[in-house]
Structure 1
């Protein structure tokens, strides 16, 4: 029987495989009780349980995360992945330099050494994914749902939820 740690590593690998080719995610924060999403480019090439983003301190999202660090990151591509977690800010200059590209000079209208530049580190708590890259399998499931009493909801072979909390 697999240990929790082995299952956790499998889940991390699965999520990594599903999001590795999706550069831009929808980053959702909580603002005055409402959910607000905006596109952000994921900076870490390999998902290891954390996700990294660059932003500026003088933005609304920075204030929203300070007020409520609970966030959701949604990826859409050949599959769909929703990662829920907790955000925190990092001033790690080496990591900023590693993630910085000349595009950010223009896009953010600043340079990497600007003290307004900050990293957002999201520690994943759960992820839910749908393997949309299997259209025939999905079509069969929908036809079966339409013609029987079978449910599509919950954890089935097309939709999985994984928990990254190692204390369980």
Structure 2
């Protein structure tokens, strides 16, 4: 894999591409303790500043942990497409009505009692450090390239990985 660090707008675009394509992240909170707290969360959006948004219940463990220590780790993984990303940052909980309206969708009714649910909150993650691995061609092409490399002994371009600096 070649190394390709991305900066500023390119980094924001890559975070958006991978977070929205993969969708579900393992959100890790309570980072200063062992064990940490990890829960799957669906990405609602990556905004123009590269911040990642989620909806959450105000009474959840991760909201409780974030209210006392806002460091957060997100782990995105889509093995079927050989796309991966980790994001370390700081999270902030919002109950602002315009934010909740922007990110709330009909599918969220499975978790909340509508947009007026008093337990509805949004979590904004501001990335501080991120890293990605992306084959660019998907799993099948990557496996074929690995096989070709094994047969020929020649190193194959299996994609790229690098740091994402906003």
Query: Deviation digits for residues 94-126 of structure 1, max 9, x if unmatched?
Result: 121121122222323x22112221111100111
Q: 1:139 aligns with which of 133, 143, 146?
A: 146
Q: Structure 1 residue 82 and structure 2 residue 83: aligned?
A: no
**CA distance in structure 2 between the partners assigned to 1:51 and 1:45 by the alignment:** 4
TM-score w.r.t. length of structure 2: 0.75
Q: 1:96 aligns with which of 97, 100, 117?
A: 100
Residue 70 of structure 1 is matched in structure 2 by: 71
CA contact (8 A) 1:43 1:54 kept: yes
Count of aligned positions? 149
- Give the stretch that moved more between structures: 79-88 or 91-100: 91-100
Query: Deviation digits for residues 79-98 of structure 1, max 9, x if unmatched?
Result: 10111110011112112112
Counterparts in 2 of 1:138 and 1:130: CA distance versus 1, 3 Å: farther
- CA drift of 1:62 comes to 0.8
- Aligned-residue CA RMSD in angstroms? 3.0
Q: Structure 1 residue 124 and structure 2 residue 131: aligned?
A: no
Structure 1, gaps ≥5 residues long: 1-5, 148-156
**CA distance in structure 2 between the partners assigned to 1:15 and 1:32 by the alignment:** 25
- CA drift of 1:38 comes to 0.9
Structure with more contact order per residue of length (Cα contacts < 8 Å, sep ≥ 6):
2
Structure 2, gaps ≥5 residues long: 1-5, 154-158
Secondary structure of the residue aligned to 1:114 is coil
